[in-house]
A and B are shown apart, each in its own frame.
Chain A
């Protein structure tokens, strides 16, 4: 009796997304695929792999420049993290998680590549964020919380060890980032075409980190001109005020 179609489809996709089919070498046998030209399957596997890597590279271009073309991580990534979605961002996040796991037991080279990759992922996540509803509007019992503030949901806080921002500036590809703690915030200010990266002083970084939920600003009035500061953070799309 012929195998169910889904079983054949699973065999095919498992084979096409395997390191053996993409890069050659052993371990690529797939008995369910008897009768299909192996050379053609290898071509198909490489097409599929190339499309996936294009997506990942589009999100992490600077990271890939730093990794270099002969990077050995890619094959290990393909073999341990098969694609689970078509999404460009999800594939890039999968690769980023893989790199982070590698960097736990081997020194990143160059050392600032961790911050570069984290910043690229953060920008992609902020850019991908779906338009959120007017969740800043207080309703019912929440009305007592009008005027409370919180960090905008689509803001990512990134404590970097290197100041990698020059790497992203045009014409400064060769610049070696300075090693210094650099608290970065990635956000989409109102009206902006794309995500923007701000460096903030540690006190503001800590304030933003503390504003996970609606908070009464009265209890935070720790600096002079606090109201002006909050207005500035609102204008930059970092903080929202409950209306």
Chain B
């Protein structure tokens, strides 16, 4: 991180479009959900494309369902390519997950069994995406409530394998790593350490809620994008920034959007972690230089 600082911004949401425009100078970049450009209302599409040229935009998808064990929707990908170009976005990201099967769609991101066979299938699909959408493609790690019993690989092994074979980058959702580590009992720092150097191109941050249900063995952290980023996730961001150099950090917020002060406060807290990581890096490099 001796070079340029990562841009820090938020995901653009229709419900706070006016607020976002009024606070545009507080952000370095905005993330646009490409599906809103394809299926959103006319006013939403107009509001999004009006931002082109006013602030750097990144392109993120939710509608591909990359992990469904069925052919990809090529027409959808062609439409995505047009949107990414129109947004002048540097990359296009999607989730390593599935949301639908033929004839039925769930609004939630479902995990995949982490096996070599599934990884091979995803690798072929990522190559298809890369051939249809001529922009760097990033995969995002999801949060998952349950695990498939036949998973054989760790999250990091699964991501590393697919990204290594395809050249795809990683949109690292730090909050998801924090939630998964807490819910499923692994070391989040070991996950970050296990990612290949240079893999993390963009970062997502968010804050969720804790679900306590009598039927659950223990409380479950949920990725609701509704509350301030927890300190533990910010600590994990700082740890990530010591090892990776993402170009963009996006705060995701989908609920309690009226709490604009919380959003701006989260942005300030993220910027503080970015600045501290940069300072540590420069200081570390200076010490190495002096010793040499």
Contact = CB atoms under 8 A, between A and B. Distances in A.
A87 interface: yes
A77 B92 CA distance: 36
Contact of B69 (A4, A84, A131, A188): A4
A51 B222 CA distance: 13
B145 A43 contact: yes
Interface in B67-104: 68-70, 98-104
Contacts of A47: 108, 145, 222
A131 B42 contact: yes
A48 interface: yes
Nearest to B117: A5
Interface stretch (A10-18, A110-118, A133-141): A10-18
B206 to A, nearest CB: 15
A39 B101 contact: no
Contacts of B103: 84
Contact of B35 (A44, A48, A86, A188): A86
B121 interface: yes
A35 B149 contact: yes
B69 A6 contact: yes
Contact of A13 (B42, B43, B110, B213): B110
Interface string A78-96: 0000111111110000000
Interface of A: 2, 4-6, 8-10, 12-14, 16-17, 34-37, 39-44, 47-48, 51-52, 55, 82-89, 124, 127-131, 188, 193-194
23 contacts: A2-B150, A5-B113, A9-B110, A13-B100, A13-B110, A36-B146, A36-B148, A37-B217, A39-B216, A40-B220, A41-B145, A42-B215, A44-B108, A44-B110, A44-B145, A47-B108, A47-B222, A52-B106, A83-B104, A84-B103, A86-B63, A128-B40, A129-B42
